[in-house]
Each structure stands twice: as C-alpha cells, then as structure tokens.
Amino acid sequence: MRLDFTTPQRQSVTGIIVMFADTFQSIVRQFWVLLLVILFKLKEDQYLVVGLGFLGLVLLTLVIGYLKYRNFTFYLDEEKQEFVLRKGVISKSRISIQLSKIQQVDINQSIIQKIIGVYSLDIDTAGTDKKEISIRAIDQRLALLLKEKLLDYGNKDEEALDDNQEVIKESKTFLKISYNTLFKVGITSNYGRTIALLVTFVITLYQSFKDAINAFEIDEKEVDTVFERGAGFFSAGILIFGLLVLVLLINIVRIFIKHFDFVMIKQKQSLVITSGLFAKKNTLLNPDKVQITSYSQNYFQKKFRILDMNMKQASSDEVKEQKKKSNAIEVPGCNTEERDEILRIILGKIPQKGNQYRSNFRYLIFRTFSAVAFLTVILTLLHYAEIGNMDLYIPLVFVYLCLISSLIYFGYRNHALYVNQDFIIKRHGAWDVEHEIIEPHKIQAITAKQYFWHKSADVGHLILHTAAGDVDFRFGDYTHIKQLVNYWLYQVETSEKNWM
C-alpha cells in the first residue's frame, strides 16, 4: 500500500473480515430477541430451513461487509486541510473534518482485530458524533503515520513524515509505570467507586436470589432463618474485613487491566500514551487541547509517594452527558518529579499557587445541614417502612455521623482557590485531595451567583465553565469573586491565545 494519503484509499484487505464481524454483530444485537425465539421454537423438521436461512444471513452479511469495505475510502486533502472519509452502502455519506478541529486520534485493537493483525483508528473532534469517524481496519505502520499526519497539520515540514523511522527515533520514553507502582495504585485509590460498585453488585445479587426463591417457591421462612443464623456466625468484623479485601482485589485487577504496561512517550510537542492488558490503547495527547489538568493524592498515596494525574480535554455534549470522565486521560501512580515534567509539557511551566481564597464557614453549615437532612430522610423512610428494630440503627447512625463530620471538616479545610496571573488552581476533596489547574484563557464563560440571604454576609458562588466541564468555588467572599471575575474576563478578552 502506498504511504501517500492524498489519494483516496481503502482499508486493509483483511478489513472485510472486521466489517463482516461488525455488521454481523450489529444484526445479532438488533434481532437477538427474534433469533432466540426462532431457536427455542424450533421443531425438528424446520432445521434445514432455519439452517439455510442462517447461512443466507451470513452470506448476506459477508456481501454487505465487502460492499462496506469497497465503499469506505479516506484521504487527506492537503489544500483544504481536511480529512475526508466516504462510506455507506445504500445511503452514502461523505464526512470531512477540518484538521484543526481534531482533538485526539486513538489507535485501538479489539480481539477480532488482534487476531487479524489490524488496528482501528478513531478520530475525536469537539462536537461531532464520535463513532462516525472511525477507520476499522488499518495496519499499524499506516495507522501511526496517518495519526502523525492528522495531528501535524500545522507543521509544513514534511521530511520527517516521509520516513517513519525518524519519527520513532525522535520520540523518547519518559514515563513507564512498573507493576510495583500499579500495585500501589490498586491498593490506594478509588475506594469510593469500588465500594459503590460492590454494593450495587451485592444488592442485585440479593434481589436475584430472592427472585430465584420466589420462582422455585422455596419456603421463605426457612431461608430467612438460614440468613439470620448466617449473620450470627459471621461477626460484623469478619464481614467488613472480607469486604475490604474484596475491594482491594477488585481495585488491583481493574487497575492492572486498564493500565498494564503504561508507557508515556514524548513525541515532538505531544504525548503518546499506550496502555492496557487485553485491548491495547494508544492515545495521542496534544497539550494545547487539554482544558483542565488535575492531580490528586490521598493519605496512603502520600506515604507511597505516588499521585494520580488527569488531563481533561474538550468534549462534545453527548459524550459529556454519557460519562463525565470519558475524555480524560489518566496517569496513575507517577511521582512528584514525573508530575512536574508532565505539567511542564502541558502547561509550559510548573504552576505556582497564587493568592489563596478560602470558603466562608457557611460552607460547613450548608454541608452539615444537608448531611443531617439526608440522615433524617433515610431514618423517616426506615421508620415508616418498619424494617426491623430502630435500635439496631443507632450504631450505624453513630458511624455515619463520625464519618460524615470528618469528611465535611477535611473537605472544608482543603477547599481553596489559588489564583495568579497564569493559573487558577482549585484544591478540594476530603480524602482524595485534588488540585485542578486551569489556564485563564481556557475559560469559556463565567457564572457568579449569590443567594439573597447571603447578601449581607457578602458570600457567593463562582462557576468557571470550560470545554472540559465546570469548576466551581462555593461560599467565597463575593467581593473577591467579583474582582476575580473581572480580572479573568479581562484576561480572556485580551488574550490572543487559542483555547484549543
């Protein structure tokens, strides 16, 4: 295959198989109910008909896969600085993307693609539907080259691009995460998320267990006594210990699957990140397109000297609504020097904390009030539902109050905004203390808000809207907030810098 992207070209020939698999998968996904019904209602004399039908379906899918492959072409229009993609069998579409709008280019590999030895290349832009722009079968060398080309639109220096070797030589690995570090990350991070997952899992399990009991008409009383006896045997301590071990195990496994072989390479001005155990993920990160950079650390991570970093990029609305963090690139378990190195690449320099702004004590009142209100609602509900003896809940209420009050206290202590000429840094979090760093010229809009009962106390809220989500600072001194808003507006409106 030529290495010239200016003429329309097709995917790898093996792409037919990927196309076939994709089409087949989508057909099965759409008609699985029908297929199941057919399978179950099958009588012996109908085997032949159904078998032939299935064969026909496979053949048809193959033809569709082939046509999809035939009609799928892409090329780079260098004059217009566009990447053009044509596809479709019956309804044809032509998608062109301005190279400057490209946010990110991902090279991924699913299991089918791994077997055939091809990769998929997905182009992410701000605004358009993400799935539209995906090349499903492309060999690795070509993928890397195309990625280079797509992200290198500004650079007219083409020499380096003709020779793939040179591109690779130029880049240097500067961050590699060892198994040891991944293990440390696994045992120290994401407790909240894992516990929530576990709780949902246990609840669904319990539900389906009950359903099963109902279905098999087992005497419920008997089961209940079994439950009670079980609860007697397992003391609460062992249960909690078991839960903790489970949480840690799940965490470690998850971290290993996601971040296995994490390597970060500096390539010209960008960062290339590869990681993943089953599906290798290759992401290119352009520093200009990062909107919010953040790093977080909890008590244990501090002891282990590791940090979690997140780079949030601009995302389209649909993506934002579905999952908040989908467009964030995570660097687990780097140390302080590595963090500073990454910050220097992304932000140009290591951000210093400027003037500190703290929240008013009303923050504490508000949080306490909501926590107590939540407790009251739950208790009232339990009371009316008449689940068990209310006395049983007293130790739980005590634990909740201890936990929530320390969370509120530490949350308040860590809640602060640091502002200087170049950076806005927001520190927050009770357990995982996160620093979110924004450059003023990446602000899209600002909202200032004050409730009328806060007027006399001169307290108000601030929300900074960026293309990667909002950052808010609540219960601040409103005079200061107004001053800051005016200052940032001045910065945004006079800045010549592009926000992406």
Contact residues for another protein, defined by CB under 8 A: 126, 314, 317, 320, 443-452, 463, 465-467, 469-470, 482-483, 485-487, 489-490, 492-493, 499-500
Cα–Cα distances in Å, from 499 out to 420, 453, 468?
18, 37, 11
- Quick one: tokens of 48? 């032949």
CB nearer to another protein: give 324 or 344.
324
Q: Give the residue with the Cβ less far from another protein, 222 or 470.
A: 470
Using the minimum distance from each CB to another protein, give the nearer residue, 370 or 447: 447
| Rounded Cα distance, 83 and 236, in Å | 61
To the nearest whole angstrom, how small is the minimum distance from the Cβ of residue 420 to another protein? 12
* Residue closer to another protein, measured from CB, 153 or 260: 153
Provide the minimum distance between the beta carbon of 492 and another protein in the complex, in angstroms, as a whole number: 5
CA dihedral 4, 7, 10, 11 (to 10 degrees): 30
15 vs 469, which CB is nearer to another protein?
Answer: 469
What count of other Cβ atoms lies within 10 Å of the Cβ of residue 255? 24
What DSSP string runs through 58-76?
HHHHHHHHHHHHHH-EEEE
CB of 26 to another protein, least distance (A): 30
Residue 321 or 337: the one with the smaller Cβ distance to another protein is 321
**DSSP characters for 363-376?**
HHHHHHHHHHHHHH
Minimum distance, C-beta of residue 447 to another protein, in the bound complex (Å) = 4
Query: For residues 246 and 500, which CB has a smaller minimum distance to another protein in the complex?
Result: 500
Closest to another protein by CB, 194 vs 450, is: 450
DSSP H or E stretch at residue 24? helix 15-40
Rounded-to-integer distance, Cα 182 and Cα 312, Å: 21
* Closer residue to another protein, CB minimum distance, 358 or 482: 482
Q: Please report how close the Cβ of residue 455 comes to another protein at its closest, in angstroms.
A: 8
DSSP-derived 3-state class of residue 469: strand
Rounded to a whole number of angstroms, the minimum distance from the CB of residue 414 to another protein is 24
Tell me the closest approach of the beta carbon of residue 18 to another protein, in angstroms. 34
Which residue, among 259, 239, 345, has the nearest Cα to 306 in the 3D structure?
A: 259
Report, in Å, the least distance between residue 427 CB and another protein: 22
CA pair distance 69, 489, nearest whole angstrom:
50
Q: For another protein, which is the closer residue by CB, 72 or 423?
A: 423
Q: Do 356 and 413 meet the contact criterion of CB atoms below 8 Å apart?
A: no
Q: Which of these, 273, 310, 301, 306, lies nearest to 437 by C-alpha position?
A: 310
Residue 416 to residue 356: CA distance in whole angstroms: 7
Q: How far is the CB of 248 from another protein (least distance, A)?
A: 36
User: What is the gyration radius of the CA atoms in the chain, in angstroms?
Assistant: 28
**CB nearer to another protein: pick between 75 and 366:** 366
Phi, psi of 135 (to 5 degrees): -95, 120
The whole-angstrom separation of Cα 66 and Cα 16 is 5
Handedness of CA 387, 392, 396, 398 (dihedral sign): positive
Query: Nearest approach, Cβ of 439 to another protein (angstroms)?
Result: 13
How far is it, in rounded angstroms, from Cα 375 to Cα 152? 55
- For residue 9, the 8-state DSSP code is B
CA angle at 183 for the pair 246 and 272, rounded to the nearest 5°: 125
Count other Cβ atoms within 10 Å, centred on residue 39: 9
Q: Please name which of 305, 418, 293, 296 lies closest in space to residue 349, comparing C-alpha atoms.
A: 293
Biggest distance spanned by C-alpha atoms of the chain: 85
Q: Least distance in Å: CB of 150 to another protein?
A: 21
Cβ closest to another protein, residue 347 vs residue 485: 485
Chain center to CA of 151: 22
Record the tokens describing residue 498, joined without a space: 């592009």
Q: How far is the CB of 446 from another protein (least distance, A)?
A: 5
